Structure 1
């Protein structure tokens, strides 16, 4: 069964020394994972601006690291409205946790805001490595810790901050990123209308 989306192009396995994903996982583990005898395969994936990498309810047991570009991770409500959970850009990783378990399906969709180049790792390979190698187990554990911390921070901001405070927090956490994101997408991420975001921006000038 193929898990590849027709909107993206996949090229052959990368060399370990050229892999941003392996460097990131190695940094999380505190050691160079490319020196080991066992490593996962890494594929390079290119997604055109505006194209979908994968959709909700798909079998997609992959973890991605962004080499270049910008993507949005989003839900589509029953009424057709989009809700953006997060953005992912250079040096960040993402994947649908729901899709990583055996037979699981993605709970959200991912689309490229900019033309993007990613690295893709099969989570089943990572799990197999983690079962045998302590360094890989530590890398996965710390990756999940980082994911959980970001999720907790997102929930905190949505539940406790006002829209102007949420916008200020976003600018502080991601300086320069707001200029790369369409107004409607940033508004949806903040949980407000584009008109409200325009007013907040005007008051900050």
Structure 2
């Protein structure tokens, strides 16, 4: 059992090192951005080479309970953290934020959605089986630690954020264990990430509207300038 946990720890270290390397080195040109988005989460699938992929079927061994658990806990977590992101739901905030390009929008949204899939595969599926509470601590602990290692979340997360992530991780892990399928955990993770998905989308749409207004104004200026030359 100890060797299994050591192996899982090595997989975790490899995933953290590889994703950080990809994030820092594979960027710049449009081609590199496409490559980064494509391969970024692949290190999380390294254990699949030895242990295979989990079950993604909709049917659950425990009926709808795992879905209610995974989604319900995500909704509760969003409600607890509502004050943290509620300001970004107001239109008047977006003029104060930097604009988001199409390339950045695709990259950010792909990362948010991809994390809900590939992180669940790694942190729920490949935890070595032992005593259930140990499995929960390992799954939740490494999941929270991965967000602390990420430089962006380390700057913005509070102690409460990490506690919520840890508890959510346990709930999603339990939903996987009682259902026999990873789908409830993935859906729950997507629900929890929905606030970020919506905020980034709204920022992008506002940026596009502002870019169109600016282009229209510049066109009018050029037109009027041409009339007086």
Alignment TM-score > 0.5, same fold = no
TM-score range, shorter chain: under 0.3
Q: TM-score of the superposition, structure 2-length normalised?
A: 0.24
- Which of the pair has more CA radius of gyration? 2
More strand by share: 1
Q: TM-score of the superposition, structure 1-length normalised?
A: 0.26
* Higher RCO (Cα < 8 Å, 6 or more apart): 2
More helix by share: 2
